[in-house]
Amino acid sequence: MHAHGTGRTPAAVPRRNTADRAALPAQASAGHRAGAADAPSLLALQRSAGNAAVTWMVQRALGGQSGAHGRRQGTPVQRSIVYAPGAGWARTNLPPDRFAALLERVSGEKAGSTFSIPYQKLYDDLQASSIETVVAEGQVSQGARAHFDPSIDGDGGTLRITQPEPNPSAAQLREFAATVTHEMQHALDSVTGRFKSQEKPQTMKERRISTELRAFGREAAAALKLALGDSYDKSQGKLSTILKGIPGDRITDERRQLAYEFHMLDSYNAKTPGKALDAFDGTLEVKRSKLLERVAGYLYQYELVTAIPTSGEALKWLRGKPEVVKKGLEEGIALFHSQRPQLRVGEAAAPQVPAPVG
């Protein structure tokens, strides 16, 4: 479950030690061992000492309760998105409305007009979940912008982000948001049990490919929303034509190609359900495919093959795994279709995409 848009293939990204994945949840369990009866006094002591990390740990152990809030200890409290100590930038800027305001300031554009925040619904769903997702900041491996680490039991986990550099450009913020959308899809799969639900007939490693395929679809849709907004007008032409004309400072070449491939796969699947991969028999060029290139990297990373396969070999592997196509690719296509900019019908023409900067 690695981030994209860094210029590195998945195969080059080293896997993490499972102990590192559970570092933050493990800290929370220490609060439980301290005992609920001692927690309020410990909280007061740590607040006076300014130890934010311990305060946060004990608050999580109590489910966010304290006597000051008038809640009885032991009453269940719904957990959702929790910001770890040191995640100040994320706490301030990651919530969708705040990120929209940040991108408005940097780009001079208006949210909902020429761009929209693609992870709004994901954020809301994670916030409403009864299973906690921790947001932490720090350097993500291989220079990636974000990475979701599932907990050992597969429920919830930690979304680790590397905040954008000071005074980021609008292009950098768009890239960051598209990557965060990809990783939040992994988080949603975890908290909803979507990953566990695929246990049979897929193997664990095949399930990892499926969850990546779903996240690819959501990421491709995210890149389009960040470049175009929530909708486009018929007068602008077909989406495939619009895609080609989006300026390079609004979408990277990799994500432009990925979005085009999902759009074509969506068209083929709509005409003949279950036959999306037929798009590679004519419309889509196998050797240029960013989707197949990524799948090839993950097949090697998850040790489903002994050497990095070609894109053609990755396609052959997918065709031999109908359950991965069904639970991964087809669901990724459905996510792309539902989350991409939609055709505006019976309204005034949409604002045109701004011209390239410079």
pLDDT in the model for residue 234: 86
pLDDT at 44: 47
* pLDDT given for residue 168 in this prediction: 96
Query: CA-to-CA distance for 122 and 78, rounded, in angstroms?
Result: 17
Task: Write down the mean pLDDT value for the chain.
Answer: 80
> Is a pLDDT exceeding 60 seen at residue 190?
yes
Mean pLDDT within 190-206: 78
Q: Rg for the chain (alpha carbons), in Å?
A: 22
Contacts of 178 (CB under 8 A, 6+ apart): 5, 118, 219, 222, 223, 226, 255
pLDDT of residue 4: 52
Phi, psi of 187 (to 5 degrees): -60, -40
Lowest mean pLDDT among 14-18, 114-118, 272-276, 306-310: 14-18
295-340 confidence digits (pLDDT tens): 999 999 999 999 999 999 999 999 999 999 999 999 999 999 999 9
pLDDT higher than threshold 80 for residue 18: no
**Cα-based torsion angle of the residue sequence 312, 277, 181, 296 in order, rounded to the nearest 10 degrees:** -20
**Residue count (the chain):** 358
First to last CA, the chain: 36
- Quickly count helices (H) and strands (E) in the chain: 15, 6
Residues with Cβ within 8 Å of residue 108, at least 6 apart in sequence = none
DSSP 207-257: HHHHHHHHHHHHHHHHHHHHHH-SEEEGGG--HHHHHHHS-TTTS-HHHHH
The CA distance from 2 to 215, in Å, is 10
pLDDT at site 10:
56
Identify the CA nearest to 282 among candidates 298, 294, 297, 271. 271
Question: Which segment, 60-64, 109-113, 151-155, is predicted with the most confidence on average?
Answer: 109-113
Better-scored residue on pLDDT, 85 or 357: 85
Residue type at position 123: Y
Helix (H, G, I), strand (E, B) or coil at 82: strand
Chain centroid offset of residue 320 CA: 27
- pLDDT higher than threshold 60 for residue 142: yes
> CA–CA separation, 342 vs 69, rounded Å?
44
83: closest CA among 103, 55, 102, 50?
55
% of the chain surpassing 70 pLDDT? 72
Say what the pLDDT of residue 181 is: 98
What's the rounded mean pLDDT across residues 164-192? 95
Higher pLDDT, 92 or 80: 92
Q: Which of 285, 322, 89 is nearest to 202 (CA)?
A: 322
- In the chain, pLDDT over 90 holds for what percent of residues? 62
Candidates 246, 274, 277; CA nearest to 264 is 277
The residue-averaged pLDDT of 51-69 equals 42
pLDDT band at 346; cut points 50, 70, 90: low
Q: What is the residue type of 272?
A: T
CA-CA distance, 25 to 157, in Å (whole number)?
8
For the ranges 59-73, 258-272, 297-311, the lowest mean pLDDT is seen at 59-73
**Cβ-contact 137, 90 below 8 angstroms:** yes
**Of 8-17, 102-111, 232-241, the least confident:** 8-17
- Comparing 90 with 61, which gets the higher pLDDT? 90
**pLDDT computed for residue 245 by the predictor:** 93
Tell me the DSSP string of 137-185. ESPPGGG-SEEEEE-TTSS-EEEEE-PPPSS--HHHHHHHHHHHHHHHH
Stronger pLDDT, 25 or 297, i.e. the higher one: 297
Determine the average pLDDT of the residues in 9-22: 39
pLDDT at residue 55 greater than cutoff 60: no
Is the pLDDT at 33 greater than 70, yes or no?
Answer: no
Q: What is the pLDDT of residue 351?
A: 46
Long-range pairs for 27-30 at CB < 8 Å and ≥24 separation? Answer: 27/53, 27/57, 28/57, 28/60, 28/61, 29/61, 30/57, 30/61
Report pLDDT for 201: 79
**201 upstream amide cis, omega within 30 of 0:** yes
Instruction: Give the model's pLDDT for residue 199.
Output: 60
Burial classification of residue 307, based on how many CB atoms lie within 10 Å of its CB (0-12 exposed, 13-18 middle, 19 or more buried) = exposed
| 210: nearest Cα among 295, 289, 153 | 295
Q: Is the pLDDT assigned to residue 128 strictly greater than 80? A: yes
Which pLDDT value is given to residue 78?
55
- Predicted confidence (pLDDT) at residue 54 exceeds the cutoff of 70: no
